[in-house]
Structure 1
Amino acid sequence: MTIQPSRLSDPAVRAFVYAVNSHDLEGFMSLLAPGATMCDDGSDRDLAEWTDREIFSSHGHLEVDNESDGGRTVLARYRNDTWGEMRTKWVFTVEDDGRISRFETGQA
């Protein structure tokens, strides 16, 4: 059962899902702390290059099925024009100022 983005517990994660699903690159980048990092399937990636390729230029979309860790870990169906749909896990590190300093994703 899908959790509507507006019902996600963590405000930063909620904003992240909204930015991805509305293809709002400027909004997405404003959610990230300076020097933010990310990891895909266990390997650190260049955040700007990865998000362009895997989210924004390929029309990425997240449908969250489950959340834990206060909303900072989500299980979601992720789809984009490159890979189709897959079950994924996303783990977010959110700083005191509410910005995301790291996210890790991969197949669940």
Structure 2
Amino acid sequence: MPIQTAKLSDPAVRAFVLALNAHDRDAFRAVLAPGATMTDDGSERDLDDWTAREIFDSHGHMEVEKEAAEGRTLVARYRNDTWGEMRTRWTFDVAGGKVIRFETGQA
């Protein structure tokens, strides 16, 4: 059974997932710290290019199945128009209430 986004433990991660699922680019950018970085399947990616392609332009959506590490690690069903649906793991580094780095990949 999925976890309701509003019940995710970490406020920054919760804001990240809410903005992603709402396709709200401004709210998404607001939760990221300046200079935030990311990886996809272990490879460093350009955050702006990746999020445009994998989230916003392809209607990405995350349904969280479980969380760990005080809400900073998620396992979720992620789907978008490009790749369909897959089980993914997301790990977040947060400082000052902002996501400074996230890593995602298949779970």
TM over 0.5: yes
- TM-score, with structure 1 as normaliser: 0.98
List gaps (5 residues or longer) in structure 2.
none
Equivalent-residue separation in structure 2 for 1:101 and 1:13 (angstroms): 11
Please tell me whether residue 26 in structure 1 is matched to residue 26 in structure 2: yes
List per-residue Cα deviations over 1:61-93 (Å, max 9, x = no partner). 000000000000000000000000000000000
List gaps (5 residues or longer) in structure 1.
none
Equivalent-residue separation in structure 1 for 2:15 and 2:58 (angstroms): 19
2:75 maps to amino acid: L
SS in structure 1 of the partner of residue 2 of structure 2: coil
2:102 maps to amino acid: F
Match of 1:100 in 2: 99
Equivalent-residue separation in structure 2 for 1:107 and 1:54 (angstroms): 14
Q: CA RMSD in A?
A: 0.4
Equivalent-residue separation in structure 2 for 1:11 and 1:17 (angstroms): 10
SS in structure 1 of the partner of residue 9 of structure 2: coil
Please tell me whether residue 74 in structure 1 is matched to residue 74 in structure 2: yes
Equivalent residues in 2 for 1:35-46 (5 A)?
Answer: 35-46=35-46
Q: Per-residue deviation at 1:39?
A: 0.2
Q: Per-residue deviation at 1:11?
A: 0.3
Equivalent-residue separation in structure 2 for 1:66 and 1:3 (angstroms): 7
Q: Report % sequence identity.
A: 67
Q: Per-residue deviation at 1:36?
A: 0.4
SS in structure 2 of the partner of residue 12 of structure 1: helix
- TM-score, with structure 2 as normaliser: 0.99
1:79 maps to amino acid: R
Equivalent-residue separation in structure 2 for 1:17 and 1:94 (angstroms): 14
2:46 maps to amino acid: D
